[in-house]
Each structure stands twice: as structure tokens, then as C-alpha cells.
Structure 1
């Protein structure tokens, strides 16, 4: 799961502003999954 997060994080650095909501959602989902 960590690898997935890393990939997404590395793949959304340029469009961070545009995909800020998407990134936030992913972070939340990842946090819930880890729990």
C-alpha cells in the first residue's frame, strides 16, 4: 500500500494544485486503510 501512495504522490506533484482535492482524498483513504 505504501508503494501505491508513493507512486501517486510522485505522479501528482505537477498538478498538485489542480488535484489537491484528489490528493487529500487519497491521503484520507490511505490513512483509513492503514488503520
Structure 2
């Protein structure tokens, strides 16, 4: 029972981390376009 709860929490944590990285990469990607426009 407890193990199932821990697994659920860790999978939620993993998905949060994944979305956080996706946001960071999107921001870097948009900044890259911005820098290309400058040069």
C-alpha cells in the first residue's frame, strides 16, 4: 500500500521534472531564434 503511494508520488515528481525541462528547452529555443535574428 505504502509502496504504491511512493511510486505514484515519484512518477508525479518525474513528470513535473520532465515538464520543467521542456519549458527550459522551449525558452532556450526561442532565445536561439532571437539571437539568430540579432546576427
TM-score normalized by structure 1? 0.48
Between structures 1 and 2, the one with greater helix share: 2
TM-score normalized by structure 2? 0.44
